[in-house]
Structure 1
């Protein structure tokens, strides 16, 4: 147990980095990390470096594994399963793709055009931006194993239920006609060599980090502001557990924001430090990653209004239920 705690502190939480940044802020910048300015500078530098290190390493590992499952092979795997099994598989496959919601939509189009069940593709669309292996490790580094694993589990469950409901409603007619006509390539590409997989993993790191770095910096900046400048009384009044609408407010606040989970984690960290309920924080994260306004605008070009409204309604209700449930059971995670 002692070894596990040491590894968790040094590898995931990066206590060594915390100490180095503290030394930098106090000895080089001449600021106390107990002050608002010093605390904000420490929070920003530490969280930024930590997220980029973990993100780069984890995306490389996940992408290397993912190279064994190109889109054509993934389509064939999902296509073998129908009903709830297909939804479960679609949701699980979404967890190994470190994409934001907008990046998941082109894959959703490919799966739909390939004739895969609509429920399975929506399960993938929900889980892909919301949960993945990289976010699991990052969440563990910030909040511990209980919260991280619980977040991933409820995300997958929501994806399975959401996809299943859409499947039962038989809403294929509400997919835009051109999607069914998108050319589908069913021939698998040649087997990649080890060198090819390494190149692919490196390119994924460059591509994903290159796309998300602004949102990470914005997220860390907001987190630093919340952590050190916004009074706890204000946060508790708006998002505290004494406000019965806190989960609903957090979900709605998250929708206009365009970011992936890596950009929301620093904000979530700051909110938890201010005493916001874990369920409220999870609802905010899920709202940002799954229902962001830009991704809904993109999705509206792929599916018709009735299906879009159904998707938003199912996911929103699911997120709100999860938020209140986690707040009620917060004693388990303390």
Structure 2
């Protein structure tokens, strides 16, 4: 893997200084080299990560998920729901159907929210791009934080007994039973499905990656050193909550945001503040809240957003302290 990165950097250098003839040690060279290298690196890791997770997904169905979590209470089931959320094939667009299916199957409300929090927050595409841009350590921090947020957020919602804020019709719906014994799939077919997953996801996010890397590259080459450290550094006690407040109502594809955040970190933005911003954009996106409004009353949505936002702020401060 390290040899691949060296090769990609060699290609980026050859293109920047040789093919394009840009003089080294210039702002333009720094930006162009950053863009070429990061785009290649992200797509390599993105393809690898999506293939592995897509292969795992062939063993996971909504029915298996509901059976594993139905009627189960306790912190360990919140943890299980969060783990399933990290490798689930479900996005915020399918959150209403999943919510109804989980409730109909007897999955406790808090456990359902543990799944809903982690599922959009931690996914293979975000993990691959984080790994490619911020490194293995930051990626592990992000994944662990996402799972912990799902566990604690869902547990608190369950503890508060907020079922009265779920629309009444949800409890009356019968979504039907899927085949509990899905047809066995051969390894070759699973690999084929995983390859199709790579084509599908990369086909959807490639433009966001290129746009995000390009913006990050411009900032990387031209932004003054230390400007963010001056205004949003660790000495600014309000930097983390400000970043979260900006991110909560913001809707943006996380694939495009991560390279921008990478560049911001390179210019002095603390990593905890950066990850807090990413989490707020991903975990409580405005489109998901609009979709969930169909099955949840506004009180529960407000409580859900508040719990997640406060947890993210705490996480940002914690990692600014530790890193």
TM-score norm. by structure 1 comes to 0.87
Q: Deviations over 1:111-137 (max 9, x none)?
A: 233331111111111111222455445
Relative to structure 1, the CA distance from residue 31 to residue 262 in structure 2 (aligned partners, 3 Å threshold; closer, same or farther) is: same
The answer (yes or no) to whether the contact 2:81–2:115 under 8 Å persists in 1 is yes
Q: Deviations over 1:111-168 (max 9, x none)?
A: 2333311111111111112224554454344333332222221221111000001111
Which residue in the other structure is 2:262 paired with? 269
Relative to structure 1, the CA distance from residue 186 to residue 100 in structure 2 (aligned partners, 3 Å threshold; closer, same or farther) is: closer
Give the Cα separation in 1 of the matches to 2:289 and 2:272.
23
Q: How does 1:204-283 map to 2 (within 5 A)?
A: 204-283=197-276
Give the Cα separation in 1 of the matches to 2:275 and 2:32.
26
Could you tell me which of 101, 106, 109 is aligned with 1:110? 101
Give the Cα separation in 2 of the matches to 1:261 and 1:10.
27
Could you tell me which of 86, 91, 108 is aligned with 1:95? 86
Which residue in the other structure is 1:187 paired with? 179
Q: How does 1:35-50 map to 2 (within 5 A)?
A: 35-50=26-41
The answer (yes or no) to whether the contact 2:216–2:262 under 8 Å persists in 1 is yes
Which residue in the other structure is 2:66 paired with? 75
Give the Cα separation in 1 of the matches to 2:278 and 2:91.
12
Asked which structure has the greater RCO (Cα within 8 Å, sep 6+), the reply is 2
The answer (yes or no) to whether the contact 1:124–1:159 under 8 Å persists in 2 is yes
Question: Deviation at 1:251?
Answer: 1.3
Matched, 1:291 2:284: yes
> What stretches of structure 1 of length at least 5 have no aligned partner?
1-6
Which residue in the other structure is 2:22 paired with? 31
Which residue in the other structure is 2:297 paired with? 304
TM-score norm. by structure 2 comes to 0.90
Question: Deviation at 1:223?
Answer: 1.5
Which residue in the other structure is 2:148 paired with? 157
Relative to structure 1, the CA distance from residue 256 to residue 50 in structure 2 (aligned partners, 3 Å threshold; closer, same or farther) is: farther
Relative to structure 1, the CA distance from residue 124 to residue 193 in structure 2 (aligned partners, 3 Å threshold; closer, same or farther) is: same
The answer (yes or no) to whether the contact 1:56–1:205 under 8 Å persists in 2 is yes
Relative to structure 1, the CA distance from residue 293 to residue 231 in structure 2 (aligned partners, 3 Å threshold; closer, same or farther) is: farther
Could you tell me which of 294, 309, 313 is aligned with 1:316? 309
Relative to structure 1, the CA distance from residue 234 to residue 131 in structure 2 (aligned partners, 3 Å threshold; closer, same or farther) is: same
Which residue in the other structure is 1:4 paired with? none
Relative to structure 1, the CA distance from residue 179 to residue 21 in structure 2 (aligned partners, 3 Å threshold; closer, same or farther) is: farther
The answer (yes or no) to whether the contact 1:114–1:184 under 8 Å persists in 2 is no
Q: Compare 156-165 and 225-234 and name the one that shifted more.
A: 225-234
The answer (yes or no) to whether the contact 1:21–1:46 under 8 Å persists in 2 is yes
